[in-house]
Amino acid sequence: MTSVEALEAVLSVPPAVVGVVLATGLGFFLGWRAWQRCPHCGWLVRRVTEGWRRCRVCGRQYRRGLRVR
Ligand SMILES: [Zn+2]
């Protein structure tokens, strides 16, 4: 495949598909910022912005930047 053919292949993708891909990437990026792993059990929990939160799976508290395991 030449570079021109590759460019034509990219340009032939429907704009809707590009929009879905961008929205998925943006959503994943925002989700990655809003969630974190529980430092105790590894469960997906809300990211702490300030103070402490309690994991609903293991019941232990965690805070921003805490590294236990
Ligand atoms: Zn936990």
pTM of the model: 0.53
| Residue 36 counted as domain residue | yes
68 lies in some domain: no
Question: Is residue 67 pLDDT above 80, yes or no?
Answer: no
The answer to the question of residue 33 being in a domain is yes
- 31 CA to middle of ligand 1, Å? 19
Which residues span the domain enclosing 46? 3-63
- The C-alpha atoms of residue 54 and residue 32 are separated, in whole angstroms, by 19
Structure tokens at 28: 């994943």
Question: Per-residue pLDDT averaged across 28-41, rounded?
Answer: 86
Look over the chain and give the mean of its residue pLDDT values, rounded to a whole number.
87
Over 70: is that where the pLDDT of 68 sits?
no
Ramachandran region of residue 42, left (φ > 0), alpha (ψ -120 to 50) or beta? left
Q: How far apart are CA 30 and CA 9, in angstroms?
A: 29
Q: Considering the domain boundaries, does residue 14 fall inside one?
A: yes
Give domain status of residue 69, yes or no: no
Q: What is the pLDDT of residues 42-66, one digit of tens each?
A: 999 999 888 999 999 999 999 887 7
Distance 67 CA to ligand 1 centre (A): 12
Surface-to-core class of residue 26, CB atoms within 10 Å of its CB (0-12 exposed, 13-18 middle, 19+ buried): exposed
For 51, the token pair is 């103070």
pLDDT score for 2: 85
Total structural domains in the chain? Answer: 1
Query: Does position 15 have pLDDT exceeding 90, yes or no?
Result: no
